[in-house]
Amino acid sequence: MVVAFLVLTGSARCAPKNEATKKTPATLGEKLEAARRNGGATVFYHSPPEPMWQTLREVARKLTLAAPSCDRAVAAEAESMLRGLGMELQLHQDGTTSFWLLREVPGIHQGRGVYLWRCGQATDVIVQAPHSFFDLKTGRLGRELFRDLEARVLMLNTLHRYKSRKGETPNDAEHPADVAHNDASLYQAVTVGILEAAPRSLFVQLHGFEAANRGLDVLLSDGRPDGQIMAPAMLASWQPEKLVVAVYGPGQPKLGGLTNVQGRAIRARSGRFLHVEMSPTVRSRLIEDTLFRRPFAEALRTLAAGPAEPLHPQNPVKPPEAPR
């Protein structure tokens, strides 16, 4: 197992001359960003084989179950399961808090995602940013919320949603690199594994829309056309001044996450899913203005602590029949 001791925040002190050659340890945020951007312009998405999908699902399930105790034996087992798959598990320590970082091995970049578990005490929140290269700043906002909420897991994509092949355009019929719409992605496998281990978790998925959608700043949705539960509850707790925040419904733009595969899998087990669409201005303010972000984070914390929908374990989430 790779072990690294990192800090989440803070800056390096001025080093004495005899320490000038020593490197400042990278922060956890820097490690996450390096894993997220571990590629270049010539890198494209690779569809994982079904056995790899199942392995990542099981690894995610085991890590989620073991995270409260930070069981090193389970982490070692997960590392063994990942061997030869081009994925690795790293342990990071920040003060008294430990983190497990699941990422692609450096040198391999196929759009598999990067995932961070908080060990020990955590809120029942899973923060997802599956379009961090397209919905700009959602990845950074995800990191901020993961910290503020003391969330259990942070999930980031590692490849632009339109990088499945050379010359791909938004008008193409299929976009396998778009992990929010691909059941066969490893991002989905990790989602399902977490869901199986912690079905009461609140999955908060961050998205962004263009400023052209005037008259609307934030759109909240459970990812279904009606019967919203999470979105109205969130709106009741978070009503920022001078912003138009709405719950998805008839007459709203097509931003409700109705075709989102994570939301579909979560709802299949009567889990809790909140799809959050934000304007560029709101995304920037939530990142840069701590006082503005705090009520948003507290509303999510309240939502996570509330009652869950009835669970139906007899309706398991099925893996995709074949990867796309």
Amino acid at 123: T
Task: Check the CA dihedral 52-207-118-13 and report its sign.
Answer: positive
DSSP 17: G
Per-residue confidence (pLDDT) for residue 254, from 0 to 100: 82
**With contact defined as beta carbons under 8 Å apart, do 104 and 39 qualify?**
no
**With contact defined as beta carbons under 8 Å apart, do 165 and 135 qualify?**
no
Per-residue confidence (pLDDT) for residue 314, from 0 to 100: 33
The answer for residues whose C-beta is within 8 angstroms of residue 33's C-beta and 6 or more apart is 139
Kindly state the helix (H) or strand (E) to which residue 91 belongs, with its residue range: strand 87-94
Average pLDDT score over residue span 85-110: 94
10, 99, 286 from 290: Cα distances, Å? 16, 24, 7
| Tens-place pLDDT, residues 121-168 | 999 999 999 999 999 999 999 999 999 999 999 999 999 999 999 888
Per-residue confidence (pLDDT) for residue 12, from 0 to 100: 38
**Which residues does residue 126 pair with via DSSP β-bridges, in sequence order?**
153, 203
28, 93, 106, 155, 219 from 4: Cα distances, Å? 10, 7, 15, 20, 39
**With contact defined as beta carbons under 8 Å apart, do 53 and 192 qualify?**
no
Q: Is the pLDDT of residue 20 over 90?
A: no
Average pLDDT score over residue span 190-213: 94
250 band by pLDDT with thresholds 50, 70 and 90 = confident
**Which residues does residue 154 pair with via DSSP β-bridges, in sequence order?**
116, 127
Cα–Cα dist 169/67, whole Å = 40
Per-residue confidence (pLDDT) for residue 215, from 0 to 100: 81
**With contact defined as beta carbons under 8 Å apart, do 125 and 149 qualify?**
yes
| Tens-place pLDDT, residues 267-323 | 999 999 999 999 999 999 999 999 999 999 999 999 999 875 543 333 344 445 444
What domains appear along the chain, each with residue ranges and CATH number?
Answer: 2-6+26-164+177-305 (3.40.630.100)
DSSP 320: P
Q: Which of 234, 44, 16 is nearest to 125 (CA)?
A: 234
CA dihedral 80, 83, 86, 90 (to 10 degrees): 40
| Tens-place pLDDT, residues 193-204 | 999 999 999 999
pTM, two decimal places: 0.87
